[in-house]
Every structure is written in structure tokens, then in C-alpha cells.
Structure 1
Amino acid sequence: MKRIVDKGSRARHARSLVMGLLLLLALASNAHGPTPARAQQDDRFPVPAGLESAVEFWKRVYGEWTQDEVAFHDRDDLAIVYRVIHQKKSDDSESYRANEAAQERIVERISQILLDLAARNPDPRTLSGDYEDVYEAFGPGAGPARWRQAAGRIRVQRGLKERFLTGLLHAGQFHEYIVKIFREEGVPTEIAWLPMVESTYNIEARSSVGAAGIWQFMPSTGRLYMRVDGTVDERLDPILGGRAAARLLRHNFQGLGSWPVAITAYNHGYYGMRRAVRELGTNDYMTIRRQYDGPAFGFASKNFYAEFLAALSIAQNPAPYFGTFQPYRTLEFDLVTMPVGMSLPAVAAAVQVDEARLWKLNPALTDAVWRGQRNIPDGFRLRVPPGYGREAPQQLASSAAARGGRLRTITPEDETDEARAEFYTVQRGDTLKSIAARHGTTVNEIAALNGLKNRNLIRVGQRLRVLR
């Protein structure tokens, strides 16, 4: 008997087999790799060919080397690490200088070995000890020319493992808010980990040149995106600073067209990177990194993107580096708009919250507010503990009314010069740079406020105006 085949059934069976195979492939893809959406996201932050060793170096700095370990490495080729020593970190000035002197001796020793290798080009089988270690740091293919050039490129890097872990703990308080802000501003949420590079999430971070907060905004740049003055300094608030950082990064990307270059511009400056793009005729990150020779485009700028990639990798998968740990809980609060300007003690009494707790919730309020020299401003979005937001507006309004409704923010327009200024008396060992860093301002601003012609000449006991 002739077998009759149902062609429609065969077709349906074939389609079923194909669909089943596609389903298995999809499941395998999900089990062993990123989804297409994730892959597209990761493509914005590639590790370009030639940058792998730099990323791995910064992973060691953040996740392997402790604060008591110091690495001696080549400044331009981070794959070359000559030596890692144990040297206890100390902030005591005498111990600090002793550590620096010991490091300088090791740098000189490595430099001498490199120059000697370049002069003699010895048979590697005859080398031992320090000479063998330096030779092997280069791997095969090195020769006199590379050794001679490397002799002047030795750099020292202390490990940051403890600081990085502390940063991850602190990030737990704010990261959820910052991710939400970045999403609202159209900026990739991965960049919300950038403070791990800028400050390792140190909320009190201040640089020697006046940058402040976890996002390390300078006063001049900060004022473009947020409020920075003697009453409110939003640079000090991780969340408010996060909004400003997202907008700055978005501006960088819109003008430069590349996230690696936009992130580098966060360190080097938008106009500096735009100059690099124009001079080289490309926004390819590795081309810029290798070929751009702008005078300020040094080690920090060239490595900023590699540091970000390393920090991002560790932050997204910290267990291999730090084991199990619990970040601090997400900060919770209610928001209340100040109806009038009021002093901190008056606000604390009105809403029945301890002043210290208000301080922790509102880091954008400056020291002048906490010292009672300035009021919490009218219109300020005050954070109060969760549950307090329902009654706080009425409590504040009643408190203001009881004081005759006359309380208001102290503004530059109605302050005398003396009331507007904060003064500092110069101590032994101070410099304008150290004073500026301590007060969140810049050397130029202090010099202008005090009419200083010679910025290197200040005297002990001199009274300087440091804040407008």
C-alpha cells in the first residue's frame, strides 16, 4: 500500500522543531551570556584593544592591593609592574616623609638597573635578584631602547582596597537615588559608579584645588549645574550632586559623541577633549589616548576611563575581591519645602528632630548654617526623617508665625561685608592651597578676596577672608 504523507502536518512538525531549537538556543544564551539588551548596554563601555592591561592594573589597585602595599610600575605601560612592597600607610607627617624617602630610593634603584641593562644588554641567563625581576617585568622582546626610555617613567601607586570597600558600603545609602536620576537624565546608569573613581564615595572629600563631594566638582563648574554659595553647596550632597553630574556627562556626550571620551572629559574637561577630537579628527578613544599630546593630558586623564571600567567591574561583582558584605541601607527621608528662612536650631525645634540628624540628611547646608551664621534658606527642600513630612510644613509655618514671620534667608543683597565673610587665621605650616582645600574654595578666590599680590607670601597670625 502506498503511504500517504500529510504535507501540512510535515510543515507544522518542521516549524515546531525550528521553534524548539530557537527556544533552546535562547535559553542557552541566557544561561551563558548577556541578553541582547545587556550586550547593547555593555557596548557603550567597551574595553578597547590595548587597554586591557590598564584596566587589570586598576582592578589590582582597587580590589587586591591594600593600603599597606605599594606598587612600582611603568607610567605608560601599566602591564609593567616592577615590584610591590609592604609599607605601612601613615598620615603622620614624619612617617609620611620617611615612606616617601624609602619609595624614592626604590625608584632610583629601578631606574639605575634599567639604564645599566640598556648600556650592557646582558644575556638574561646571567641576571639574578633585582636585575632579573626588572628584566622579567618587560616580558620577551624588550631591549636597550625600551629600558632606557622606561628609566624615566617609574611611578608609585599605593593600594586602595580598604577605601574601595568603604566606598561600596557608603554607596548603599545613595546609589538607588543616583541610578534613578541618571535614568531620568538619559545617562547610562553604569556611570552612577563614577564616584568610586573620583572619591571612593568619600562624602567629605575635598581636593587640594577646591573640588568637593563624591563627584569632585570644582566651584566654577558646580555653579553651572547647581547651587554653590556660602549657604548651600550642593556639591556636598551625593544626590543633588548626582543630578549635576548626570547633566554634565550628558552635555559631554552630546558634544563629543562617545561615552569613553565623555567620561574622560569629566576629568580632563569638555573643551580639552573637544580640542583633542578636533586635532586628531576622530572621537575614537584609543586614538586619542595614544596620540593626543595636549599639555594637560597626563597620567590622570589618560587613565580615567580605564579606572572607571575597573571600578565598574568590581562594583558590579564585588564578591571575588571582598567576600560577603552588607552595604549601608538606602537613605530614607521625606521632603519639606522651607516656607521662610529659619535657623537650624529653630527648624530642629519646630519639627522635633535632633540637629545632628538633620545635618546628616542635608549635607548641602554649609558649615555657616550649622554654626548659626546663616539661615536655612526660604524654598530649600529640607530632608526630614521618614514619617515627619506630614506634619513638618505646619510645624515650620507655626514656628515662623510665632516669631512674627520675620525670619528669612540671609542673602548677599542684605548682608554686610563682615556678615557675609568667613575668616581664617593662618597657622604655622599653612599654605593658600591647604587653606583653600579646607574651606572648599580656590587659591584664586582667596587671593582675590584679600587682595594678595604674592600668593606664596602669607604669615602666621594673618587673618584671611575665605568665604563670600
Structure 2
Amino acid sequence: MRRFLFLAILIWPLAANAQSTELFPRPPEIEPAVNFWLKVYTEINTRNGFVHDARDLSVIYETVPYNQRAISNARNRTRDDLRVLGSGQRTGLTAGQQEILALFPEGVSNRTLNNAASNIRFQLGQSDRFLGGLRRSGAYRAHIRQVIEEKGLPQELGILPHVESSFNPGAVSSASAAGMWQFGRATGQRFMRIDHIVDERMDPYIATYAAMSLLEYNYSILGTWPLALTAYNHGAGGMRRAVRETGTTDIETIIADYRGRLFGFASRNFYAQFLAVLQIENDLDHYFAGYTFDPAPQFREVRVDGFVESRALAETLGVSHARLQADNPALRAAVWDGDKRIPRGYPVKLRAGEVPPGDLLALVPDSLKFSEQTPDVEHIVARGESLSVIARRYDTSVSRLVALNQLTNRHRIQIGQRLLLPQGSEQAVAAAPPESAAPEPAPATLAPPPEPVPEPPPEPVQIASNEPVRIEEPISSGEPILPPAAVLPDDQELDAPVSGEDELAAAIDPILDVAQSNRILSAELAADPSDYDVDGRNTIEVQAEETLGHYADWLGIRAQDLRRINNMAFRDPVIVGERLRLDFSQVNVAGFERARRAYHAGLQQEFFGNYHIQGVINHTVAANENISTLASNRYLTPIWLLRQYNPGLDMNRLQIGQEIVFPRLQPVQ
């Protein structure tokens, strides 16, 4: 009876708020996708997968084992049969061709069948992984429920980690989205501390607050939960663009018609996956009879009034260093390796049953406390240098450089980039003659990603999976990978092996590699709904913190030239929200957009290094109030951030009684 009550407590927040057709509609147009994900999550495990049509998920050609040969054979066989059918042949068909034809509507056109031949995808099963995530979720459900209640959001949002990571707090995707809630670095820095000492994405408790703040933000600017949830994967800016280009907020129309460059399989299916998980959660006994939940651990916290070495703290408090590290996953490898100290005031978690009662801080003697953090040791990347060259020079390893700087195998180093080095590296370089850089090569370029999250080349393919399945040889079929579940194994660190290609790759020049820089910058601005694109008439929407001087500099022309082509008098200001015509006689559009995005990414990075968003405040405009005073004096919010929370706001026409959303900001300690 006691166990039954415990399970009821864990389940009731979702069951009590059973799927609301108002908040989370289930349009018939996406019903085939929802049913597909129900099958993926409940009917086949990670030893098998579906060969299916990537657009029409009601078309599942066959179920095959997860190995190179079976997948390749099934894809080729299906492609050949579809091409036969696409040629118009309807007699003398093989049994397999007849089965494939039966999957399509009667009278299907040859064009549809030929298109299908180029649209074959493999999806790995997830039932065993879902069950593992369900078990893990028990440790976090009560906390997630509490955070959602505090913010007044729908309880259904608490199931999102099923889609993102299978409730794996140590998950890291191929795009370096990290933690149970799968935050990218730039978006995560809006809400959490993310650096080489602390990465709060890896703390499932802190990251839960951040995830709900992000969803709250997405909803405030997009207005519907289907769009807000899809923006969790595709970015608020991307979804604002989808709404503009399709002229609708209907999720089913956007999924069917939007052809954004990065709106791929993962983004199109994110909401359908959420609905499938919601159905499973509301009928767990039907789908997973006999499931169990992990108990929620009980922690005590101690905030040391000084910087302290991790091993010294563990020894003083009588816990193992490994246990301390496991319970405080937000502290990065530099802390556990001894390169950095635990920051002053950091809330160190300790298992309640493993430490003595009473004042834990009193157990830490002053002799273990330092007044300052261990200083950083840095190297500035020069032209022609690679990770391997730098590692040899400082007598360290490439993998340690990658871990300390949280690099990924897609974001190779850039000229002028500051790399943090392990402690003691300055002595290593002083003792050895400097290594000459390699002969200057042509700037390295990176292949454009097929999806918002590119596939890591050296790893076995992981399609909608949390843990790689051992296969005889890696699959390199070029299939798009589904990011929400394509995470690395349990307990794998961010310092994953680096490919030999990336070790030797020379630093790229961001000025020359414009296309790659624009892709990276667009990802960094994913949470920003502002329009930084140049339209077909060579005009832009003026954004906050921009001036004619900025535009002239990015275009390589004079400000007075811009005034002339826009019929502006000398003292006429540029007005935020209005459109301005540009002159591209000196630079191309891509170069201008790169410079513009780099400016705003730097502006936002600097701001979120000093402030984190903790929630929102709804302000009702009163008489004699103006936006500048409210933003700068009362809410300490820059105009560019205010516009992100209120993208449709006309800042020159405020009305009494109008509601404005302000982010609730907290200075970084």
C-alpha cells in the first residue's frame, strides 16, 4: 500500500492535467507522426528500428535489426522497389513491391513514389531506453512538479526530458547540448552559469528552473504551447520566422509547409514526440506494466565562505571524492582535476545520510579556504596552429584542452581565440623552446550540417538514442540524426574523444569562412527572435543598439551614403523597428549578416556573463510612464532584451493599461 501511494504522488500531476486539447492540441494532420512515435517509444527496443518515409510517418516499410548490413540492405531494397513503382509499373510486381504499394493511397502518383525513393530514413527503437528514463525520472519528478507550480505553467511540460534525454542528467548531444534538459551553451547562458569551472546545465535541479524559464519565454513571444515547445528545439527566432513565412500559428501547417534551412526532421517531429510521450505518461500501466521509479535523493547543502580544493573538502566532510563529484555534476573537470577550486559560495550538495548532523560549514577550517580562485592560464590561437600543436607546446593532451574549453569536434579553434590551459602549463612552455606553427594552410572549412545538429563523424550512428548500441562497424549512411534523443551514454563526460582530423585541423579564420561563421552565430542567437536577415529588397529591420555608424562599418561605406539612399536628413535618427535600405556595393549580404550577428552575439554574451534570467514580470503601463524609464530605472533591462520578450511592441505608442513583459534579472555572483 505504501508503494502504491508513492507512485500515485509521482504520477498525479500529469494525470490530473490530462492532455488539454486547448493547451496542447492534437491536430489530425499530425496524428500519423504521433502514432509513429508511440510505436518507437513502446513497441521496439534499441536492437531494432524502422525503415520509413521521412515525411509521411504512417509509411513504415519494415523493421530491421540495428546493424550496418541490415539497414543498408533494407534501404537499398526499398529504394529500388520504389523506383520500379515510380516508373509506372503496376503488373508483375514482386511481393515486396506490392506490400510497399499498399502503404500508399490508391492511385498514388509516380512522382510521389519517386520522391519517396529519396526520402528513406532509419529510426532506432526506444522502448528499453524509455523504460530506463521512466525509472530515472523518479529522482526528479517532485522537484520538476514544484518548479512548474511555482511558475504557474502546465504540468504537462514536466515530461519533456523523455524527449530530450530520457531523464539522463549526464546526457550530451552531438551538438553539445548538455544535461537532462539539453541546453545549448548560448541559450543556457541566459539562465545559468556555464564556463570552464561551473556548467549548471549538468545539474538537473538548477537546469529545471532554466528549462521552465525558457519555455515561459518561448510562450510569451509565440503565444501557443505547440510553437513554444517546437521552439525549445528550433529556437524562438526560428519559429518566429516560420510564423512569418507561413502566415499562421497553426503547428500542423508549419510542420507541413515551412521549408526553413534548419527546420529538419527533428524540429518537424518535436511536438509530435511530446504528444506521444504525453499519451504514454497518462496510461503508464498500459504501456509499461510493472515499471518502477528511482527514489529522490535527499541532500544537504553547504556554501563555503571561500574557495576550496575539492579533495580537501571531501576529506574534511568525510565523503569520497567520487561521491562528491557525482552529486555535484555542475562542477567541471578542472575542479576535480585540481586545476580550479570550488567557487566561494557554491551550494555543494552532500547526501544527507553520509555527512554528520549540525553545521557543516563549521567543519571546514579556515586553513582550507582561499580568498581567490586559481588564476587562469591562457593561450591565444595564432594562424596555422592546431589543437595538437598547442597541446604539444604546453605538454598536455588534446582531450584535456577540449574538456577545459568545452570545445566540440565541429567548432574547431579560430584565429585569435583564447584557450584555457591546465595549471602548470606556463612552466612547461618555459622549459621547452616554442614550437613553430605549421606552414600557413588554406583556411579550414566545415561541412554544412544536414540538420540543426550535425552528426559526429567518428561515432557509430545514433538515431534517436541515448546510448550507442555496439555494432560490427560504424554506419556512415549520411542519415539525419534526431537530436532530442541522440545523446551520448550515461555518465559520459563532455571531454569525449576528439577525432584525428580535428586534432590536426588548422584554426579557421572567421572573417574568411563567412558561411561557417554565420551558421555558428545563428545557433548562438537561437533564442533571439529578432530578425537579422536582409530581405530581397536589400532592406533590414532596425534593431536596438544599432546605429548608422554600425551599418556603414559593416558595409564598408560612409554613413552619409546610407542617409542619402534612405532620404534621411543629417539629424534624423534610425528608429528601432523601422526598415532601412542598404548598399551592398562593397560587401555581400552574407558578410554583412555575419558582422551584424557577431555584434549582437557579443553584446548578449557580455550581458549574460553578468546577469541571468530568473523569470518574468508582467507590468501594466500606468499614466506618465515611458518605456525607456521603465527599462533602465525600474527593471534594469536593456532595450534589445525587452524587445525579445515583446517582439510586437511599438515602443513609441504605449497605452495606459497595456501589459509589457520584463525579464526578472539577477546579477551573477
TM-score, structure 1 as length reference:
0.78
Residue number among 360, 366, 378 corresponding to 1:392 in the alignment: 360
Residue number among 245, 259, 272 corresponding to 1:293 in the alignment: 259
What does residue 322 of structure 2 align with?
Answer: 356
Contact persistence 1:114–1:151 (CA under 8 A):
yes
Deviation, structure 1 residue 299? 0.9
**SS of equivalent to 2:140:** helix
**SS of equivalent to 1:51:** helix
Larger Rg: 1
1:287-436 to 2 correspondence within 5 Å?
Answer: 287-386=253-352, 388=355, 390-396=358-364, 399=365, 401-403=366-368, 405-406=369-370, 408-410=372-374, 414-417=375-378
What does residue 454 of structure 1 align with?
Answer: 444
Contact persistence 1:208–1:436 (CA under 8 A):
no
What does residue 136 of structure 1 align with?
Answer: 102
Letter in 1 for 2:444: N
Letter in 1 for 2:76: E
Deviation, structure 1 residue 369? 1.1
1:88-103 to 2 correspondence within 5 Å?
Answer: 89=66, 99-103=67-71
Determine the C-alpha separation between the residues in 1 that align with 2:163 and 2:18.
24
1:87-166 to 2 correspondence within 5 Å?
Answer: 87=65, 89=66, 99-123=67-91, 127-166=93-132
What does residue 11 of structure 1 align with?
Answer: none
What does residue 202 of structure 1 align with?
Answer: 168
Cα distance 1:259–1:393, how it changes in 2: closer, same or farther (>3 A)? same
Deviation, structure 1 residue 37? 7.8
Residue number among 411, 418, 424 corresponding to 1:444 in the alignment: 411
Determine the C-alpha separation between the residues in 2 that align with 1:348 and 1:36.
42
Once structures 1 and 2 are overlaid, which stretch shifts more, 251-260 or 129-138? Answer: 129-138
**SS of equivalent to 1:173:** coil
Cα distance 1:254–1:385, how it changes in 2: closer, same or farther (>3 A)? same
Letter in 2 for 1:416: V
Determine the C-alpha separation between the residues in 2 that align with 1:438 and 1:298.
32
Deviation by residue 1:340-393 (Cα, 9 ceiling, x = unmatched) = 111111211222222222222211111111111111110111111226463212
**SS of equivalent to 1:342:** coil
Letter in 1 for 2:192: M
2:247 aligned with 1:281: yes
**SS of equivalent to 2:29:** coil
Determine the C-alpha separation between the residues in 1 that align with 2:244 and 2:31.
26
Determine the C-alpha separation between the residues in 1 that align with 2:120 and 2:272.
19
Deviation, structure 1 residue 139? 4.5
Deviation, structure 1 residue 258? 0.6
Deviation by residue 1:93-148 (Cα, 9 ceiling, x = unmatched) = xxxxxx3354233212212211211223415xx54421122112224342423212
Determine the C-alpha separation between the residues in 2 that align with 1:122 and 1:333.
67
**SS of equivalent to 2:329:** coil
Determine the C-alpha separation between the residues in 1 that align with 2:402 and 2:322.
26
Determine the C-alpha separation between the residues in 2 that align with 1:209 and 1:280.
28
Cα distance 1:440–1:36, how it changes in 2: closer, same or farther (>3 A)? closer
Show structure 1 runs of 5+ residues with no match. Answer: 1-34, 90-98
**SS of equivalent to 1:265:** helix
RMSD (Å), alpha carbons: 3.3
Letter in 1 for 2:44: W
**SS of equivalent to 1:240:** helix
Residue number among 221, 230, 243 corresponding to 2:196 in the alignment: 230
Deviation, structure 1 residue 229? 0.7
TM-score, structure 2 as length reference:
0.56
Determine the C-alpha separation between the residues in 2 that align with 1:263 and 1:230.
29
Deviation by residue 1:153-203 (Cα, 9 ceiling, x = unmatched) = 111111111111111111111121122112212332211211111122222
2:232 aligned with 1:266: yes
Cα distance 1:173–1:289, how it changes in 2: closer, same or farther (>3 A)? same
Deviation by residue 1:396-450 (Cα, 9 ceiling, x = unmatched) = 3xx2x234x535433xxx43327xxxx97599xxxx99x9699743443633346
Determine the C-alpha separation between the residues in 2 that align with 1:156 and 1:266.
24
Once structures 1 and 2 are overlaid, which stretch shifts more, 113-122 or 435-444? Answer: 435-444
Contact persistence 1:204–1:214 (CA under 8 A):
yes
Determine the C-alpha separation between the residues in 1 that align with 2:412 and 2:189.
14
> What's the % identity of the aligned pairs?
35
What does residue 28 of structure 2 align with?
Answer: 49
**SS of equivalent to 1:72:** strand
Cα distance 1:438–1:370, how it changes in 2: closer, same or farther (>3 A)? closer
Determine the C-alpha separation between the residues in 2 that align with 1:197 and 1:460.
30
Q: Number of aligned pairs?
A: 404
Letter in 2 for 1:66: N
Cα distance 1:167–1:436, how it changes in 2: closer, same or farther (>3 A)? farther
What does residue 95 of structure 1 align with?
Answer: none
**SS of equivalent to 2:370:** coil
Determine the C-alpha separation between the residues in 2 that align with 1:255 and 1:230.
32
Letter in 2 for 1:75: A
Determine the C-alpha separation between the residues in 2 that align with 1:36 and 1:206.
30
Letter in 1 for 2:361: P
Contact persistence 1:208–1:437 (CA under 8 A):
no
Letter in 1 for 2:240: R
Determine the C-alpha separation between the residues in 2 that align with 1:259 and 1:342.
44
**SS of equivalent to 1:224:** coil
Deviation, structure 1 residue 243? 1.0
**SS of equivalent to 2:123:** strand
Contact persistence 1:209–1:437 (CA under 8 A):
no
Once structures 1 and 2 are overlaid, which stretch shifts more, 197-206 or 363-372? Answer: 197-206
Show structure 2 runs of 5+ residues with no match. Answer: 1-13, 380-385, 392-397, 420-436, 447-498, 508-669
**SS of equivalent to 2:413:** helix
Determine the C-alpha separation between the residues in 2 that align with 1:225 and 1:180.
18
Residue number among 215, 221, 224 corresponding to 2:187 in the alignment: 221
Contact persistence 1:121–1:143 (CA under 8 A):
no
Letter in 2 for 1:110: T
Letter in 2 for 1:328: D
Determine the C-alpha separation between the residues in 1 that align with 2:40 and 2:81.
25
Deviation by residue 1:12-67 (Cα, 9 ceiling, x = unmatched) = xxxxxxxxxxxxxxxxxxxxxxx998468453112111111101101111111111
Residue number among 17, 31, 40 corresponding to 1:61 in the alignment: 40
Deviation, structure 1 residue 310? 1.2
